[in-house]
Amino acid sequence: MNPNNYYTKEQEKVISITGLYKSFHELAVLKGIDLELFKGENMAVLGKSGSGKSVLIKLIVGLLKPDKGEVIVLNKQVDKLNPQELDALRLRIGFSFQSSALYDSMSIRQNLEFPLKMNRKNLGKKEIDNAVEEVLDSVGLKDKLNQMPADLSGGQRKRIGIARTLILKPEIMLYDEPTSGLDPITSIEINELINEVQQQYNTSSIIITHDLTCAKETCNRIAMLFDGKFLKVGMFDEVFDSEDEQIQSFFKYNFIQ
């Protein structure tokens, strides 16, 4: 289990969000949020569907622009970057999709080689082979190198999706519902993998999840997002030691029903 430790202001911030607002026409989605992610930290963002979690991720990677406020990622103000600068920043951020987003027509080897060939054009075949072998070893699937995505289980596809993200050695990982649709045993394995990635690659991560077990087992801190605002940010036990009905309903849905 990853220890839920506090992070101090002396530590390096890799993401700093201040006074962030985002609306779509008359619909206000984010209503003035502040958030900090520190180097080497895993943070879960929890909230019901429609609470603004996906919008937050899109603002972090520059797919959307804020109406007001600042999003600073790796010391860059995201909405001020030109397209070339934004592309360079995105190469330092890994995104693990809920669906794994593998190319079904490509083998596992080809899926892993693809981002390197697109973004590291100076690499030779041996360097690419070594990188593929390293990330497959990291996710425990070296024996799947020449298989197709259709041959893999849901949990194995999740692992390969994470491996494909890791192959570019990102500094920040963004996980979208990493345990969604998985059985309890496989979910435990993915939680363990997220912790191993944090330790082996020294990544800083935001984990979007509805799964409180995932949040508790993988994250140093969690942030509860409701109705466009963070109700509480802190360690797991601190956040859920609350009489707030919205926080308690989220806890009961996960652990009592």
56: domain CATH number?
3.40.50.300
* In contact, 176 and 210? CB cutoff 8 Å: no
| The Cα angle at residue 235 between residues 240 and 138, in degrees rounded to 5 | 120
Domain boundary among 169, 200, 222: 169
Query: Are both 78 and 180 inside the same structural domain?
Result: yes
In this structure, the answer to whether residues 128 and 176 fall within a common structural domain is no
Tens digits of per-residue pLDDT, 89-122?
A: 999 999 887 766 788 999 999 999 999 998 888 8
Q: Which two tokens stand for residue 240?
A: 């859920």
The better pLDDT of the pair 253, 183 is held by 183
215 and 252 belong to one structural domain: yes
Query: Which pLDDT band, with edges at 50, 70 and 90, does 4 fall under?
Result: very low
Mean pLDDT of 186-203: 92
Q: Choose the final residue of a domain: 169, 190, 223.
A: 169
How many domains does the chain contain in total?
2
Whether residue 86 sits in one domain with residue 17 = yes
pLDDT of residue 214: 92
pLDDT, average across residues 62-75: 96
Domain-terminating residue out of 144, 169, 194? 169
From the list 86, 92, 98, 115, the residue with the least C-alpha distance to 172 is 92
User: What is the span of the domain harbouring residue 175?
Assistant: 11-92+171-257
CA atoms 43, 45, 46, 49: torsion sign? negative
With CA atoms as reference, report the closest residue to 98 among 245, 217, 232, 209: 209
- Check whether residue 84 and residue 158 sit in a common domain: no
Portion of the chain with pLDDT greater than 70, in percent: 92
What pLDDT band is residue 154 in, cutting at 50, 70 and 90? confident
pLDDT for 256 beyond 50:
no
Residue in 17, 24, 99 with CA at minimum distance from that of residue 57:
17
Cα separations (Å) of 11 from 2, 137, 186? 18, 31, 33
* pLDDT at position 2: 43
Residues 106 and 199 grouped into a single domain: no
In this structure, are 182 and 212 located in the same domain? yes
Task: Give the pLDDT band of residue 255 (cuts 50, 70, 90).
Answer: low
135 plus 79 within the same structural domain: no
